[in-house]
Amino acid sequence: MAQSSKRSKWVSLCVLLFAYFASTIIAEDGLVANGDFETPPSNGFPSMTPAEGIATGIPSWKTNGTVELVAAGQKQGGMILIIPEGRHAVRLGNDAEISQDLKVEKGFTYSVTFSAARTCAQLESLNVSVPPASQTIDLQTLYNVQGWDPYAWSFEAEGDDVSLVFRNLGMEDDPTCGPIIDDIAIKKLFTPDRPKDNAVINGDLEEGPWMFRNTSLGVLLPTNLDEEISSLPGWNVESNRAVRYIDSDHFTVPQGKRAIELLSGKEGIISQMVETAPNKQYTLTFSLGQAGDKCKQPLAVMAFAGDQAQNIHYTPDSNSTFQTANLNFTSKADRTRIAFYSIYYNTRTDDMSSLCGPVVDDVRVWFSGSCKIGFGRLGLVLGFAFWVFVFFMG
């Protein structure tokens, strides 16, 4: 009996421990629970009739207001609704919202990736928040002819339990009009250490938001003026329009797996404040290329470093898809702004509508007077000199 009672206590303890850890599972990188809205409600998916599509319950999500599960091929009037991926998505009516509670780690920065499309109104927007952090994303600009775009937004977790909220702030005559959202994912971000020979943080642009492998549109990074809380760690997006974060699976990238495609001319600017020593000579170098997305040329960027600016056109040789550009400058303070924007408003040659532009990657700022022989190479040189000395002295 005693042994049986002891075994029972151990089983109860294991159950309690399992329940505890199950309740504290931290959100993993990737799709949030039912982030693609393909999990059917308890009563099944509604028909494609708009009046019957109003959601009474979306698995893993809380809803408020007119929230509608929409399906591929569904029509509203004479218009076929756009579903970003898969068969289903969610449309938010006037002042409607969906939310999901997430487990995160306090103090860390997270990036939320989601796809969005507008429906009835040209001036539709979508508010994304993890209170108290919030941003309204303008959906007026269509960046490609498919009618929808992936976006990324970042926040710093102020606690271990947060609520991710998507809300339509619009008030249309038709209460069912509103943005369609789909494919919601999250990623915990890490700010890369600054290399010893480069003042730029995340200059290779490898650390950034979650990207779906089956999505060939990249991820748009809207306006963000806080480099400490950015979907592209270390970098700001200063402009009214977004820039596109691209991957080597679907685009041509100068080096590594990620890069930035600049869109909309002066309306798409990325920048960073880098640490410098006052009154010292520095050189800004970067790779300039094309994304392999049939972007109409010419392609060119305006590069800024401190009080210097330079117009650089993309003119690679026949054996390369990118070129290395540089800009020399003298620092005036202990922090210097570097920035890039596209000089032209480029579109793709195959549809003449999808926005595109030059690609920037591998951004470096280094002290012009510094010795560029690394420690490892210096050691080899000294070692070789030592053995030459021994040989001749012997």
Q: How many domains does the chain have?
A: 2
Indicate whether 376 belongs to any domain: no
Q: Do residues 269 and 149 both lie within one domain? A: no
Residue 321 three-state SS: coil
Taking residues 356-366, what's their average pLDDT?
A: 98
Say which amino acid occupies 248: S
Q: Do residues 71 and 203 both lie within one domain? A: no
Q: Do residues 226 and 345 both lie within one domain? A: yes
What is the rounded distance in angstroms from the CA atom of residue 57 to the CA atom of residue 36?
15
Indicate whether 16 belongs to any domain: no
102 has which bridge partners? 162
Q: Do residues 92 and 154 both lie within one domain? A: yes
Domain end: 140, 157, 188, which one?
188
- Token digits for 245? 């974060």
Indicate whether 9 belongs to any domain: no
Q: Do residues 144 and 201 both lie within one domain? A: no
Q: What is the pTM of this model?
A: 0.86
CATH number at residue 173: 2.60.120.260
- Token digits for 391? 């040989």
- Across 43-179, the runs of DSSP E, i.e. the strands, are 62-64, 67-71, 75-76, 79-80, 88-92, 97-103, 109-117, 125-130, 133-138, 149-156, 161-167
Indicate whether 184 belongs to any domain: yes
Domain hosting residue 138, numbered range: 25-188
Indicate whether 125 belongs to any domain: yes
Q: pLDDT tens-digit profile of 301-348?
A: 999 999 999 999 999 877 788 999 999 999 999 999 999 999 999 999
Q: Do residues 164 and 233 both lie within one domain? A: no
Domain end: 130, 157, 188, which one?
188
Q: Do residues 53 and 96 both lie within one domain? A: yes
DSSP string, 87-99: SEEEEE-TT-EEE
Q: What is the DSSP code (8-state) at residue 15?
A: H
What is the rounded distance in angstroms from the CA atom of residue 253 to the CA atom of residue 204?
11
Q: Do residues 236 and 178 both lie within one domain? A: no
Give the contacts of 26 (CB within 8 A, at least 6 positions apart). Answer: 103, 104, 105
Q: Do residues 173 and 204 both lie within one domain? A: no
Q: Do residues 152 and 213 both lie within one domain? A: no
Indicate whether 199 belongs to any domain: yes
Question: What value does the mean pLDDT of the chain take?
Answer: 87
Q: pLDDT tens-digit profile of 28-76?
A: 899 999 999 999 998 888 875 554 445 558 999 999 999 999 999 898 8
Q: pLDDT tens-digit profile of 132-147?
A: 999 999 998 999 999 9
Q: Do residues 281 and 314 both lie within one domain? A: yes
Q: Do residues 146 and 218 both lie within one domain? A: no
Indicate whether 359 belongs to any domain: yes
Indicate whether 391 belongs to any domain: no
